Amino acid sequence: MSKEKDENSIHIVTSAHLATSFPELSEFEFGLIIASNAFERWIIRCMNAAGAKDMAVLDILIIHHVAHRGTEKRLADISFILNIEDTHTVSYSLKKLVAAGLVVNQKKGKEMFYAITDKGAELCKRYKEFRDGCLVNSFTKSEDEAAHLADMAKFLRNLSGRYDQASRAASSY
């Protein structure tokens, strides 16, 4: 990690050679890296506390999405919503969740649909209880804080489009 200085501020970056063209973006990317790693560590430990000791990050993201609104989901829909290009990783995770009895699958025509089981719903409920106690309660939940979080979420969703476009452009080289 290094500190790159421009006229008005110091930028904390992990790759000074990348920061020369747009230091603010490099600083953001470093923040994204450490936030992503902290988030992944958090969801694994929260799921461990809820009772599922051997779930990977992708398994946790998928079980929560399958439980979302209590509706069946297709592999393609799960991959699309979570912005996962490699559907094989999603398929493998779904197989693990089915084998653990947390998710069920049902073929309808040519499509396979996935739904949460009672056991899976109970696990998600316990996860939420630990999340509320360990994380949510650390926030003030003020209007300003809520608005700031909502703005950051919108920014991240919009930024993902720029990174997706850049990855398509890089693929053409």
Confidence of residue 7 (pLDDT cuts 50, 70, 90): low
Which pLDDT score is estimated for 10? Answer: 83
User: Is pLDDT at 3 greater than 60 in this prediction?
Assistant: no
Answer yes or no: is 173 within a domain: no
Q: What percent of the chain has pLDDT over 90?
A: 91
> What pTM value is reported for the model?
0.90
Q: Which of 58, 56, 64, 53 is nearest to 131 (CA)?
A: 64
Query: pLDDT tens, 106-117?
Result: 999 999 999 999
Rounded mean pLDDT, 131-151: 98
**19-32 pLDDT per residue, tens:** 999 999 999 999 99
pLDDT value for 2? 55
pLDDT tens sequence across 97-108: 999 999 999 999
64 and 78 in contact (C-beta within 8 Å)?
no
In a domain, 123, yes or no: no
Domain co-membership, 32 together with 58:
no
Residues 81, 95, single domain; the answer is: yes
- Do residues 79 and 113 both lie within one domain? yes
Bridge-partner residues for 4, per DSSP? Answer: 11
Q: Which domain holds residue 18?
A: 1-50
Answer whether 30's CB lies under 8 Å from 1's CB: yes
pLDDT tens digits along 20-76: 999 999 999 999 999 999 999 999 999 999 999 999 999 999 999 999 999 999 999
pLDDT at 155 over 80: yes
User: In this structure, is residue 4 part of a structural domain?
Assistant: yes
Same domain, 42 and 98: no
Residue 44 lies in a domain: yes
What band does 11 get if pLDDT is binned at 50, 70 and 90?
A: confident
Same domain, 72 and 22: no
Residue (of 47, 55, 58, 44) closest to 124 by Cα position: 47
